Structure 1
Amino acid sequence: MTKYLILTLCGLSLQINAQSRRVSFQPHKNGKQININVDGKFFSSFIYPDSLEKPILYPLQTASGLTLTRGFPLQTRDQERTDHPHHVGLWLNYESVNGLDFWNNSYNIPKAKKNKYGWIRGIKVTGYTSGSQKGELSYTANWERQDRHVLLQEKTTFIISGTKNTRTIDRITRLTAVKDTVKFKDVKDGMIALRVTKELEMPSNQTAEFTDSQGNRTKVSASGNGANGDYLTSAGKKGNDAWGTRANWCLLAGVKDQQDVSIAIIDHPKNPGYPTYWHARDYGLFAANPLGQQVFSNGKENLNLSLSPGQSVTFRYRILISSTEKPTTQSLNQQALQFSKTTL
């Protein structure tokens, strides 16, 4: 039986596998990037250059060194889709915040339309701590209009750990309304998300077309690129049936370089809209959206979150990355139970 340690730091209680590897951080010489290592191996980088409209973790690698996130738009790879340039790494934002679209903003938006989109800017790393069992990295940021007017202040902490075959990210993000009442309209695109490598896409022979909040269209071609991924939720939904359903976790699993690999996102009972709806697409977008309930429920439910000035909301998620073996339903249920008991 696996042994665990209960660690308490700054009021946070975290259950850590006793076989966890050391986590360390290394600022990049070019600035606005902090590399994250687990057990001496590269895992990911926290990246926040001015050229991006949001901060991201990119790429995400397994303990065995395989990359599970798409390269585009930062690094194009052979046979990889080049749609949706705002899908990059692992991120958290939303499609409609006081009418501004934070989700779809990217270099691809025409300058004349940029005032309809929002940025996450003013990012400051407030601290990072390496450790033998886990590491923590925290930052602050502003959710802004084009004219730099701040709608929300963000405080985020990543708690990162790893074992021989896994990497785990616990993300805790608190959003606080500043001077304005901030309204999150009930829409489809949000909230925590990542775009995966081509092998974790689901096989598809169809071309699909998607339109963002401002009418910009993007076509996604049929896969035919070695895609073999499949979704499974805690409610037992598989494949495309996972999209638009509620569950407290969702697993995306497949094979890359003849090795079993997977990513699971686990919701937290304290999150708004728990258990979340899954915005899990066959072409490789893997997202949890607790605030967009109307579209997923065919109009039966509705949640328009509103924050008065000074009011906050917190979102908590666990991302579990596995290699060499696929997590079982039982193990993911145990992960979800353990995560639900953490004080975050």
Structure 2
Amino acid sequence: MNKLILLILFSLSYCSYVIGQDSHIHFIEKPDSQKISIYIDQVLFTEFLYSDTLYKQVLYPIYTASGTEITRGYPARPKADEQTDHPHQMGLWFSFGNINGLDFWNNSNRIPYDKKEQYGIIRFAGIKNINEKGNKFTVEADWTNHDGYILLKEKTTYAFTGKPHERGIQRTTTLTAFKDSIFITENKEGLLGMRLDRNLEADISGIYQNKEGDTGDDVWGKRSAWVVLNGKIKDEKISIALIDHPENPNYPGWSHARGYGLFAINNLGGQCFDKQAEKVQILLKEGDSITFTHQIMIKDGGYLSNQEIEKVPAPQKPL
């Protein structure tokens, strides 16, 4: 009996060590619901949604390690007292406002039918690879016009990390010109964006800060390797950092962080943010590709220090 008790105690101690130091990432595919659920230590972190009713794929909702939701509920699941503007801003997404003149950023079911031809759609094409023993999966999508004509082929790998009070997301996206030449023209609306819970807006508790020390509204339009948002939800301190990658085009990107809850980084903004910047216009000929890697770090129970953000591990290689 004593040996059995010791064995049970040892097993519990070992499980606690594994969970505390090397969190277990688990994916559950739900094709009937058109989503992949991402669990860390058996707790839901986020879901990858690829519903036919969406105009792009998103991670939504997103939770801290403590279980607090940091994303706005609208338009999928509205919460009390939150704003209902910008229906295209849902969860965490990647899109842009000017690809061959098409707006992929602002498209939603609120666009009148006679205006649809001005907008692009990011159509889910399939799950390419899920690393069941690791922390990554790769998906594919087609960037099309309203009629389904393909401009760009997308390949995106998501990698997730977790430990007590911290969660991490890395998104690496490669866009390849499909048939014709593709012009990517500087635009304010881009590139990697999040829409956050009402409590993290500037008039409630949220304060932006970039690497250079600018804060609040002064962060918008500035180039920086990273921007962090510090705020509170029900007295719980929460930090969210968007981190650019040195190999991205136009590194460091411009911050498109707004007080109303939009938190975005845009490597293709150019003179839309700063008239003194070099103009951004990228030509991709058939078969040419462009790749972007960004990292998101989420902390609960305290705020991220500059040192913690600087020490975020280097991006993992895509599958």
TM-score, with length taken from structure 1 = 0.85
Aligned equivalent of 1:281, options 258, 274, 290: 258
User: Do residues 87 (structure 1) and 89 (structure 2) align?
Assistant: yes
Is the CA contact 1:89–1:195 (under 8 Å) kept in the aligned structure 2?
Answer: yes
Following superposition, the deviation at residue 18 of structure 1 comes to 8.7
Q: Deviations over 1:59-80 (max 9, x none)?
A: 1100000000000000110010
Q: Quick one: distance in 2 between partners of 1:18 and 1:78?
A: 34
- Identity among equivalent pairs (%): 39
- RMSD of aligned C-alpha atoms? 1.5
Q: What is the one-letter code of the residue matched to 2:22?
A: S
| Structure of greater Rg | 2
Following superposition, the deviation at residue 299 of structure 1 comes to 4.4
Is the CA contact 2:50–2:124 (under 8 Å) kept in the aligned structure 1?
Answer: no
Is the CA contact 1:291–1:305 (under 8 Å) kept in the aligned structure 2?
Answer: no
Hey, which of these two has a bigger chunk of helix by percent? 2
With over 3 angstroms needed to count, the CA separation of the structure-2 counterparts of 1:242 and 1:184, relative to structure 1, is same
Tell me which residue corresponds to 1:13: none
Tell me which residue corresponds to 1:167: 167
Aligned equivalent of 1:339, options 306, 314, 317: 314
Following superposition, the deviation at residue 339 of structure 1 comes to 2.3
Aligned equivalent of 1:115, options 114, 117, 121: 117
Aligned equivalent of 1:233, options 210, 218, 238: 210
Q: Quick one: distance in 2 between partners of 1:275 and 1:261?
A: 24
Q: What is the one-letter code of the residue matched to 2:224?
A: A
4+ runs of 1 displaced by more than 4 Å? none
Is the CA contact 2:208–2:227 (under 8 Å) kept in the aligned structure 1?
Answer: yes
Is the CA contact 1:55–1:120 (under 8 Å) kept in the aligned structure 2?
Answer: yes
Is the CA contact 1:152–1:178 (under 8 Å) kept in the aligned structure 2?
Answer: yes
1:94-133, aligned counterparts within 5 Å?
94-131=96-133
Is the CA contact 1:142–1:153 (under 8 Å) kept in the aligned structure 2?
Answer: yes
Q: Quick one: distance in 1 between partners of 2:233 and 2:293?
A: 29
Following superposition, the deviation at residue 20 of structure 1 comes to 2.7
With over 3 angstroms needed to count, the CA separation of the structure-2 counterparts of 1:326 and 1:85, relative to structure 1, is same
Q: Quick one: distance in 2 between partners of 1:248 and 1:87?
A: 23
Tell me which residue corresponds to 1:9: none
Q: Quick one: distance in 1 between partners of 2:302 and 2:124?
A: 40
TM-score, with length taken from structure 2 = 0.91
User: Do residues 73 (structure 1) and 75 (structure 2) align?
Assistant: yes
**Aligned pairs, number:** 300
Q: Quick one: distance in 2 between partners of 1:158 and 1:93?
A: 16
Is the CA contact 1:199–1:254 (under 8 Å) kept in the aligned structure 2?
Answer: yes
In structure 2, list runs of 5 or more residues that go unmatched.
1-18
Q: What is the one-letter code of the residue matched to 1:145?
A: N
Q: Quick one: distance in 1 between partners of 2:181 and 2:21?
A: 46
User: Do residues 43 (structure 1) and 20 (structure 2) align?
Assistant: no
